[in-house]
Amino acid sequence: MTDYYAILGVQRDATPEQIKKAYRKLARELHPDVAGADAGSEERFKDVSRAYDVLGNPDKRRAYDMGADPASPGGMGGAGAGFGFQDIFETFFGAAAGASQAARGPVPRARRGQDALVRLDIDLAEAAFGVHREIPVDTAVVCPTCSGTCCRPGTSPRTCEVCGGRGSVQRVARSFLGQVMTTQPCAACQGFGSVIAEPCTDCSGEGRVRSRRTLSVDVPAGVDTGTRIKLTGQGEVGPAGGPAGDVYLEVRERRHETFVREGDDLHATLAVPMTAAALGTVVQLETLDGPRDVDLRPGTQPAQVVTLKGLGVGHLHGQGRGDLHVHVDVQVPTALDDEQADLLRRLASLRGEERPDARLAAHGGVFSKLRDRLAGR
């Protein structure tokens, strides 16, 4: 008589839990999906299954311990008589998976719609102060004829006759393990549990149609290129009138002809004549807030920066605004007539600048300062 205890590798006084644990371990190792198409492994898997069929059943185990072999043709039943698909299913996937398989129901026909990404081009002034925009979008809306039911008005979905409304069907297949039962989505109703016998002609049974809508959005101050604004539930409606997705507005700021933006600050270049920089002047600059005076003190140097507080871009997550930084570009004349050149020579003479090389050395010019720095003085 076959020693089923030896096949499972347990003692004769092993508990039911120890027998089940040993079987599960061997089944994982020897199952054809794991061990591959090996004749020896397949035979051992059959022996292990036969041994567990006997020792895992209290009545068959009692008869086996008394000298009978329930798995033999003359015993209590053939190999695999008490061994079903559920045992294998629990072996590889656990009891929780088996429970979820049994509890599977029809798939909801209504599903969430997709999200949409829309680009929004704005000017610098709109980014600085915020703006209200009306944006047209092409999207999916609930079918006005069937109101999302997918059916012709006056009709309704019909319970699937193939699956009886369960959305799935069970099929029995024979294998070397015996009869194996599987559950598959119903092909007749696509797993919905119901069929649309008379679909709506306007939406072709989709429950939604394409249409153009207008979205209203308040763009906050401080947005920049790449900022995304989420409009919850403003996307396309899902199939069968399902919940709408979201719309994401991606901001792209147009380039300004005068100002360059860095964060919430603005930068502008102001070109002034050499004489105005030397004598000082007031220049009017057109800002995002209108004309503002830029006061240049006498002796203004090239690349000097004049800051106008609070004339930049509004802070996206806070109060206040950035600043406007005006960079002074002193323009040196390049074409002088004789009279202008003579005036500049007289100015140089009055300032003692006829020999700039000597003055540069005497007052520690660029080269002398560099030499001192290198010498560590």
Annotated binding-site residue? 146: yes
Both tokens assigned to 123: 């000017």
Mean pLDDT of the 359-371 span = 45
Most confident of 23-27, 28-32, 33-37, 327-331: 327-331
End-to-end CA distance of the chain: 105
Q: Which domains does the chain have, with CATH numbers?
A: 4-102 (1.10.287.110), 260-332 (2.60.260.20), 345-377 (no CATH)
Annotated binding-site residue? 160: yes
Mean pLDDT of the 25-45 span = 70
Which band of pLDDT confidence, cut at 50, 70 and 90, is reported for residue 307? very high
Beta strands (DSSP E) in the chain are 116-122, 131-142, 158-159, 168-175, 178-185, 194-195, 208-219, 228-231, 247-253, 260-262, 265-273, 281-287, 290-296, 305-308, 324-331
The β-bridge partners of 218 are: 132
Q: Residue 3: its pLDDT value, please?
A: 87
Q: Which residue has the tokens 């680009």?
A: 119
The β-bridge partners of 306 are: 326
Q: Residue 180: its pLDDT value, please?
A: 72
Write phi, then psi, for 347 (nearest 5 degrees).
-65, -40
Q: Residue 355: its pLDDT value, please?
A: 64
215: phi > 0 → left, psi -120 to 50 → alpha, else beta; which? Answer: beta
Annotated binding-site residue? 151: no
Q: Residue 335: its pLDDT value, please?
A: 87
Enclosing H/E stretch for 302 = none
Both tokens assigned to 228: 């995304």
pLDDT at 61 over 50: yes
Rounded-to-integer distance, Cα 222 and Cα 318, Å: 9
**Interval 237-263: pLDDT, tens:** 999 999 999 999 999 999 999 999 999
Annotated binding-site residue? 150: no
Mean pLDDT of the 308-332 span = 95
